[in-house]
Amino acid sequence: MEELNIDDYKNLLDEISLTSGEIENNLKDYKLVFFPYKNPIVERGMKIPLFLKSFYAFIKKYKRIPTQNEMFDGYISMNQDYFNRNNFNEDIMHGIKARAFRAYPSLVRDIHFNLYVKENLKEANVIFNPKLDYINGIDILIDYNDIYYGVNLYTDTIEARKYRKLKDDRKKSFSNELKEKIGI
């Protein structure tokens, strides 16, 4: 088990020029779309590339939040080799798109909240790193007086708790991780 060494995790928030208020203004005209479809193969843990990487690549390049379609188009483009190799049928691709569209609000909430915390906790170092997120389950790391607080962000719904449990089962803990959980 490895020990948390913060220098191993580049802070992606330092590369994003948006503010939480700009994100709010950016999103006010966006319309969310959800497909009432879940492909059982896609939903049962099919290993597809992470949506997170293309989402943040778009933000860094265009300095705004993508729409759901822009996120999905960027996802396909960034992972074109993967999709070419697998040559999925239309049903699988529709399932992946439906899953991406469902993941979108969570990605937006994470970046918005991370920037909001960074803007309002001036005495703390607020860190977001994709590796901390998808390997260690830490959506936001707050360094306050040399004490690190790893925070998981999710909405408290039945569906979110189910996926949170799946993430918890595969997350890699740090040897110096505080085991106590604080409910807020």
**Mean of per-residue pLDDT scores for the chain:** 87
Report yes or no on 146 lying in a domain.
yes
Does residue 120 lie in a domain region? yes
The answer as to whether 15 is a domain residue is yes
pLDDT of residue 176: 52
Number of domains in the chain: 1
**pTM of the predicted model as reported, rounded to 2 decimal places:** 0.84
The tokens describing 152, both together, are 């998981």
pLDDT grade for 181, boundaries at 50, 70 and 90: very low
The closest alpha carbon to 150, from 137, 163, 169, 162, belongs to 137
Task: For residue 27, give its domain range.
Answer: 6-170
On whether residue 56 sits in a domain, the answer given is yes
pLDDT exceeds cutoff 60 at 178: no
User: Does residue 68 lie within any of the structural domains?
Assistant: yes
CB 176 within 8 A of CB 146: no
Does 77 map to a domain? yes
82 belongs to a structural domain:
yes
Residue 180 lies in a domain: no
